[in-house]
Amino acid sequence: IFTDTELDFALEVCEAVCDVWQPEEGREIILNLPATVERSTPSTHADRFEWMSRNLTRREHVCLSVHPHNDRGTAVAAAELAIMAGADRIEGCLFGQGERTGNVDL
């Protein structure tokens, strides 16, 4: 869970994956940073996305994807603020159908 992981360690894991994938123009990588269990406020979640966006070494070849759940009723706010903080994509469900009804409803 991205929201429960120390940022330095999350960055280390993402960088290791990028080292293997070797993202480049036309071969981008999607890094999904989930809030599988919504434990932080939308603003805290957005701060973490902004930090990751600023610290990834190959940021121009990375699609940062936010995957919020709605356990606390703030998934839409978390998704919107994550986009404003540097996320490129929102993963969710249509009409409450999907992985579980706790996903953000698109």
The pLDDT tens digits for 13-65 are 999 999 999 999 999 999 999 887 778 899 999 999 999 999 999 999 999 99
- Distance in angstroms (rounded) separating the CA atoms of residues 79 and 85: 10
Residue 100: pLDDT band with limits 50, 70, 90: low
Tell me, what's the pLDDT at 93?
A: 86
8 within domain boundaries: yes
- Distance in angstroms (rounded) separating the CA atoms of residues 82 and 99: 21
Residue 71: pLDDT band with limits 50, 70, 90: confident
Residue 69 has pLDDT above 80, yes or no: yes
72 within domain boundaries: yes
- Distance in angstroms (rounded) separating the CA atoms of residues 53 and 51: 5
- Distance in angstroms (rounded) separating the CA atoms of residues 20 and 104: 30
78 within domain boundaries: yes
62 within domain boundaries: yes
3-state class (DSSP) for residue 41: coil
Tell me, what's the pLDDT at 18?
A: 98
Task: Give me the number of domains the chain comprises.
Answer: 1
- Write out the DSSP string of 46-99: HHHHHHHHHH-TTGGGEEEEEEEB-TTS-HHHHHHHHHHTT--EE--BBTTBSS
Its pTM stands at: 0.88
Residue 3 has pLDDT above 90, yes or no: no
**Owning domain of residue 54:** 2-90
